[in-house]
Chain A
Amino acid sequence: MSYQKPIPLKTQDNQPYWDAADRHELVLQKCETCNSYNHPPGPACSKCGSTELSWESQGSAITGTIYSYVVSYRPFLPGFQDDLPTIIVVVQLDNLKEVKIIGNVLACPPEEVKIGMPVKMTWQDITEDRALPQWIQA
């Protein structure tokens, strides 16, 4: 059966991130002017407005801790009705604490999820050529 949930839209501003995700790799947008990381990426640095931006690979061994979460018992979007409850998390990266990435924690009972829980990134192959960064308990 084909993938029913929303597939990340590649845009002028985010394509390198999602292209890397398809390769099971995390790349982040970095500002050359103020040296901060910009996530989600954009047309300019969200901290200083600079357009001197580059992309930096973080590789494929990504760990973090849960910064916050919600547990969704209703599908607010199509495609989620078959795997409720959905755990939606904000993960703070261990190596780059300023970067927070939203995702789901997969295969985790809702009563186990808590702030501070260690997680690691995994990539879910959702179509033949697309992959979605996700999280599992570390």
Chain B
Amino acid sequence: MATIKDRYAIVGVGESERSKNSGRTPLHLALDAARAALKDAGLEAREIDGFMSYSENDSCTSHQLATYLGARPKYVKDIMGGGSSTEMLIADAIGLIETGQVNTVLIYRAMNGRSGVRMGGGGWDVNMLQGAMDGGSFFIPYGAGGPGQWFGLFATRHMQQTGLTHEHLGHVCVSFYEHAQRNPKAFFYGKPLSMEEYLKTPSLSYPFNKHDFCLESDEANAIIVTSAEKAKDCKSRPVYIMGIEARRTVSHAHYWTNLDEVASDFVAPSLYKKAGVTPQDIQVASIYDCFSWVVLRQLEAYGFAARGEVGDFVASGNLKMGGKLPTNTAGGMLSEGYTHGMNNVLEIVRQIRHEYKGTDRQVENCEIGICTGWSGPDIAGAMILRN
């Protein structure tokens, strides 16, 4: 079997406007993002022969997007999914290109995540929730109705076992908010967060306060994947995929039977093996950040700090510009925007291209980066990218 290392690339990235109330349909947002990605790549819509998206039944279809771009693709695919879906769809796209079925694939996530269907919970029909979620009747009647509580159960135990403190969570938030201050498109641009303010913010769902939660936004993002060969014809500087890996572990209802294990623990070893690098080679990161704690747990899983030392790692400023691993340099989902992880993909592509060269947003000389996607303890995906 052929290795895919360095044989596929992301050649275009683009986004729609970001807001709390777009007043437009996900299809309109998706069209904006797709056109921006096409422009970035220097491709025409008719050159895209595969369209893929993921959603939680809150988006438009790939068929619709292709139609209104005037494209006639060979292949459309829409999956149900959140974080980690970007990586899974990129892997699908590579498989399709590798077997000669398509040449170039556009992958997008479009959502009115604030004005439409909100992930943050509240206002849901409880009987619908109990039925829709596997094993829902074993946690919904107890008030465990939102991701803040589900992830919190993981966080509390992990923090107790490894000595992570509330202040360590705060370092993740403060670092990412600091990045957002250099990104005029970030939601929290102009709204810095100090540790003092973080620590005095009351708990929403202990161990989390509102800063530990990702934000909710209306926006669409798109990326274009093609072969290294075809990438030569594109206008943009390609970002090559060194390795990509995903893993599904336990189902939703069984999340809480083992809080000590997450899917990233399984993804990491084979990802590094495929890419042929070690954590020491990684110079920039986009780490899925639906909650601050999720970043800490992944830093452990992906080998950036040993279990028990992750708190010191972030407290030393390593996630900031100039640190060992500048992470979520546009602000991440905690402070830039939220598209189930895809905005973090756009940012790492731009960093590895050195698109911010000459500004204080550019991570100096970064050649290799990691991007992780994670919708929950059940599923993880990640990729390693290079210039």
Contact = CB atoms under 8 A, between A and B. Distances in A.
B144 A88 contact: yes
Given A46-B254, A77-B126, A67 B143 contact: no
B139 interface: yes
B122 interface: yes
Interface string A3-19: 00111111100100010
Interface core residue of A11, A18, A40, A103 (most chain B CB under 10 Å): A40
Contact of B141 (A6, A39, A99): A6
Interface residues of A, number: 40
B259 A68 contact: yes
A5 B126 CA distance: 9
B318 interface: no
Interface stretch (B76-84, B105-113, B146-154): B146-154
Interface string B124-152: 10110111001111111111111011001
A132 B141 contact: yes
Interface core residue of A69, A99, A102, A103 (most chain B CB under 10 Å): A102
Contacts of B183: none
A100 interface: yes
A78 to B, nearest CB: 7
Contacts of A73: 202-206
A97 to B, nearest CB: 11
B157 A11 contact: no
B160 interface: yes
Contact of B140 (A6, A67, A86): A6
Contacts of B129: 6, 77
A70 interface: yes
Interface in B236-277: 250-251, 253-254, 256-257, 259
B126 A103 contact: no
A70 B291 CA distance: 14
Nearest to A14: B137
Nearest to A130: B141
Contact of A40 (B138, B142, B143, B144): B138
B381 interface: no
A32 interface: no
Interface string A72-90: 1111111010000110101
B205 A8 contact: no
Q: Which DSSP category, helix, strand, loop or mixed, fits chain A's interface? A: loop
Given A11-B137, A46-B251, A68-B156, A76 B142 contact: no
A40 B254 contact: yes
B157 A67 contact: yes
A52 interface: no
A42 B251 CA distance: 11
A39 B137 CA distance: 12
A5 B250 CA distance: 28
Interface in B173-221: 202-207
B205 A70 contact: yes
A100 B257 contact: yes
Nearest to B146: A76
A77 B256 contact: no
Contacts of B126: 6, 77-78
A70 B138 contact: no
23 contacts: A6-B126, A6-B140, A7-B141, A8-B137, A8-B138, A9-B130, A9-B137, A14-B137, A39-B138, A42-B253, A46-B250, A46-B251, A70-B205, A71-B205, A72-B149, A74-B205, A75-B143, A76-B205, A77-B124, A86-B142, A86-B143, A100-B256, A102-B144
